Structure 1
Amino acid sequence: MMRAWILPMVFAACGVLVAASQFAKGSPGTAAPLLLFFALLAWLHSPLAFPRSVGAAEAQRRSAVDGRPVVYWRAGCTYCLRLRFRLGRNARRLHWVDIWHDPAGAAVVRAANDGDETVPTVVVEGRPYVNPDADWVRAQLSSSP
C-alpha cells in the first residue's frame, strides 16, 4: 500500500527542499511556484489523480453486469496517467483496479502479459488489451449497454 505513495512523497520532499533553499536565498517569489510545481507532480503521480479503485473480483463482477471495461493500473505509471487524462470525464465510468493494492489484480495483469505487470491493461469482455489508445477505450464505453 505504501509503495503507491513513495514517488509522490519524494516529489513533495524535493519541492519542500527546493522551495526552502530558494526562500533562504531571499527569493520567496521563486520558492512559491516551485513548491506548487512539485505539489502538482506529487498529486499527478499519486492514487488521488485516478478514480477510486476497486478490487479485481468486484471490478470483474461489475463489468459482467454493465459491460464497461476494467482498467488495471498503478500509481506513478506515466502511460496510466496519460490514459486517465485523455479519457477525461469518461474515466469515471470505467472500473479501475490498482494492481499495487490488489494482488488479484496484479495476477490478472501478469497472466495477460506473460508474467509482466505491464499497465495500463484494459479488459473488455474478458479479453485484455495492453496500453490501448484512449479513443479506442472511449469507443468501448459507448458500445457498452
Structure 2
Amino acid sequence: MRPNVMARTFVGLTAVVGIAAGTLAGASTGFAASESAPGQAVTADAGVLAVVNLGLSTNQAKGVQRWLRAEWGYTDSIDGELGTNSWKAFQRHLKAYHGYGGAIDGVVGSGTVSALQRFLKNNGWGYTGAIDGQAGPQTQAAFKTFANWCVSNY
C-alpha cells in the first residue's frame, strides 16, 4: 500500500472512530432529549492526521523535531512523533532545497518521500537508491543516519 493511501486510510478510520465515539458519548443525553431538541453537530479534529516516523525511534524523531524547531519553524511539542506539523516543517525544508513541489500539508506521500530521498542522497546521509517515492529500507536507514546526527547536534 502506498504511504499516501495509508495516511488517508488512517485519517478516514480516525474520523469514523471519532464520530462513533462522539455518538456513543452523546447517546445517553440523545435518547433522553425530546424530539424538538436541535441536532448535535459532531466535528472531528483533522489537524492530527498520522504519525509517520519512517522507522525512527522516539529519541531519533525527537532529534529531528529539535532540528525542525531550530531551522524550519516547527512549534509543536518535542514528543518523538513525526505528525502533521513535523512533516509540514520538513516539507518547507524540502520545498526550499530538494525539489518538493507539493502542498505544505504534512502528508507523507510519494512527493514528500522523493524529496526526502533527494535530501538524503545529495547531502551525504547514505541514500544511494533511486528517487522513487517509496520509503523502503534504504530510505529509512539513511533517514536514521540523519536523525542520529540531529540527536547529536540539536
TM range (shorter): 0.3 to 0.5
How does the TM-score come out when normalised to structure 1?
Answer: 0.34
Per residue, is there more helix in 1 or in 2? 1
How does the TM-score come out when normalised to structure 2?
Answer: 0.33
